[in-house]
Every structure is written in structure tokens, then in C-alpha cells.
Amino acid sequence: MGCFITFEGVEGCGKTTQIKLLAQHLTEQGHTVIVTREPGGCPIADQARAILLDANNRAMTPTTELLLYAAARAQHVQEIVKPALAAGKIVLCDRFTDATIAYQGYGRGLDPATIAYLNDLATGGLKPRLTVLLDCPVEVGLKRAFDRINGAAGAREERFELESVLFHRKVRDGYLKLAEDEPERFIIIDGSQGVRETEAAITAAVPARLAEG
């Protein structure tokens, strides 16, 4: 069986950059690594992603949002994540169920029991072995996120970035509470550092935690 590692954090915390760097590091160590993301990761889930992140869909209700995430996750887990784990690969996933708890639970205020039920239904009970939480002030993350969006070609995936600072602070608080409740799973990394400093912290912490069994 492989190893499932997720990356979490507020917008602009550096997840996407750091997950690629960790994949490179682990590959150089001789591991077979697959990098994926949520929402998305496979064609059907990518179509849900386009709906979820499109700023033109700001009228979407929180319940609709929650159900779309669950549907995309169910497809992604069955089509990509579980087969890769069964093949003995390390799966690095950019967001997973913790994001739903942080964003739709703490951020939107939806019922935690409903979220827990849908997460379990969509994943079949699959949980990450480790979760790297890149924590940074929301103002820092949002500036980075908009710099990235404004400098990129193609669709502007900014529906969440356009939410209020208060919303993003609730999300960050949610992540920190999750990490406090499950210290054996979470590794908290300072995401406000530079790319190389953050990379060094992750590549030191992740193998050490995995070695602990």
C-alpha cells in the first residue's frame, strides 16, 4: 500500500509550489510519486472545478458548493487516488477533506455532521497519512494569490479569493483548529517564508515524520 499525503492552507500559502518540490525530492529518493489536486485531478472532477472556482458563479449557494465538492471528490478518489495507493505509490494531493471542513464548515458555517458524512461517503473512509498545513496570514496569501491570477493566462479561478478577509480568517482558524485536534497527522509549516526556506522545512519534516511510522 502506498502513502497518502495532503497539502492544505489558505489561498496563496504556497501549496502548489511546495507540493511539486516535495514530489521532486521524494522521486530523487527513489519513490514513485503522483501529484494530484482537489477539486479536480481527473476529467470529470476538473469539470466540477471549473464551476466551483469561476467567479461568475458567485451566486452559488453554500450547499450547492458542498455537494459539488463531494461529487468531484468521489470521482477523484475512485479514479485516481485509490488505484495509485494500491499500486504502492506516494500520492501528494493539493487539498482534500480538511479543505471542506475549513472552507464550507468554518468559512461558510455549514453543519459539521453533514460535512463529515459527505466526506466519508465521497472517500470511502480514506484518510491522509500526513497533512502538511502551510500557514500564513491571510493578507499575505491573498496578495500572492492575486499576483498569480493576474499574471496567468486562461480562466481566472478566483471565486474564493474574492471572498471577504473575514471569511479567509475563519478558514485559517479552522485549519489551525484541525491541526490542534490531530497533531499526529498534521505538520504545520510557516508558509510566509520564502520558497526555498519553506521547501527546506518540508523536506526535513515529512521524511522524519514518515520514519516514525
Q: Kindly compute the dihedral angle of the four CA atoms of residues 159, 163, 165, 171, in this order, to the nearest 10 degrees.
A: -80
- The predicted model gives 69-97 an average pLDDT of 98
Cis peptide before 39 (omega within 30 of 0): yes
What pTM, to 2 d.p., does this model score? 0.93
pLDDT tens, 127-142?
Answer: 999 999 999 999 888 8
Run of H or E residues at 163: none
Residue type, 88: G
What letter represents residue 118's amino acid? L
pLDDT grade for 154, boundaries at 50, 70 and 90: low
Assigned architecture for domain 3-211: 3-Layer(aba) Sandwich (3.40)
Nearest 5°: the CA angle 17, 83, 92 is 15
Q: Any idea which of 15-29, 51-65, 107-121, 156-170 has the lowest mean pLDDT? A: 156-170
Q: Which residue has the higher pLDDT, 55 or 180?
A: 180
pLDDT, position 153: 67
Cβ atoms of residues 167 and 62 within 8 Å:
no
Q: Which three cell numbers stand for residue 106?
A: 468554518
Closest-CA residue to 171 (of 58, 12, 5, 9):
9
Between CA 172 and CA 60 the distance in angstroms is 22
Please answer whether residues 159 and 57 qualify as being in contact, where contact means their C-beta atoms are separated by less than 8 angstroms: yes
Domain boundaries, the chain: 3-211
Average pLDDT over residues 62-71: 98
**Which residues lie across from 211 on neighbouring strands?**
none
C-alpha cell at 73: 471528490
Q: 76, exposed or middle or buried, with CB in 10 Å at 0-12, 13-18, 19+?
A: buried
Let me know: does 118 contact 64? Beta carbons within 8 Å: no
> What pLDDT score does 64 carry?
98
Share above pLDDT 70 across residues of the chain, in percent, rounded to a whole number: 97
Task: Dig out the grid coordinates for 84 from the structure.
Answer: 495509485
